[in-house]
Amino acid sequence: MKHGKRYNAAAAAVERGKSYDVSEAFAKIPEIATAKFDETIEAHFKLGVDPRQADQQVRGTVVLPNGTGKNVRVLVIAKGDKADIAEKAGADIVGAEEIIAKIQNENYLDFDVVITSPDMMGQLGRVARILGPRGLMPSPKAGTITQDIAKAIADTKAGKVEYRVDKTSIVHCIIGKKSFGAQKLQENFDTLLDAIVRAKPAAAKGTYVKSVFVTPAMGPGIKINVRG
């Protein structure tokens, strides 16, 4: 795969094959995140689990202490008092059947997170085929099907992220923006790593965290030395 001069210059700052200590890795972010915009920084965890097995799933949510740096657009599907609570709590869009119909008929997807109350899940099932593949379908594990709408909105706006192992046994997750600086990015990373370690399935054997990389959206990755 061919890369441009900017990418190659950034890659030259990373020693090939080396596993960096956590603090050393995040200190290098300015050298590898050289795009002209505020790049998103991601963490990628290769886990020693078999995601084909139901008892080896790794999934959960965690609130990053410094947020994600992203303006999250929250859609709340609710009625009555819960809709009023959602509006007061800062939801960007609030609706019920009319929003579900708009998603179904117009492929409306101008939002990043969907939160709903349990009583609306029967109707929301009509658009599961649209929301599901995009990772937008609410779920109890993600805390997006809840009676406590206000808390779910607050957590999401504060920087709650969902982590989930994919079919290749990797967890991909945003941990912030380049502008956060090394300390805040490391704090977010440490929080996410701790959550993933605590989510280790009892059925997982051997090394759990096999490898970890942090990478800017447009730059090379840095391998981090963590104990699995």
Query: Under the phi-then-psi rule, with left for phi > 0, alpha for psi from -120 to 50, and beta for the rest, what region is 45?
Result: beta
Q: Cβ–Cβ contacts within 10 Å for residue 4, how many?
A: 9
Instruction: State the average pLDDT over residues 12-30.
Output: 90
Q: What is the pLDDT of residue 228?
A: 53
Q: Are 191 and 66 in contact (CB under 8 A)?
A: no
Q: Are 212 and 193 in contact (CB under 8 A)?
A: yes
Residue among 80, 107, 112 nearest 93 (CA) = 112
79-109 pLDDT, tens digit per residue, is 999 999 999 999 999 999 999 999 999 999 9
105-141 pLDDT, tens digit per residue, is 999 999 999 999 999 999 999 999 999 999 899 999 8
Q: What is the pLDDT of residue 7?
A: 79
Q: Which residue has the higher pLDDT, 13 or 114?
A: 114
Q: What is the pLDDT of residue 164?
A: 92
Tokens of 105: 């008929």
Is the CA virtual torsion 67, 72, 76, 80 positive or negative? positive
DSSP assignment of 154-211: HHHHHTEEEEE--TTSEEEEEEEEGGGHHHHHHHHHHHHHHHHHHT--TT--S-SEEE
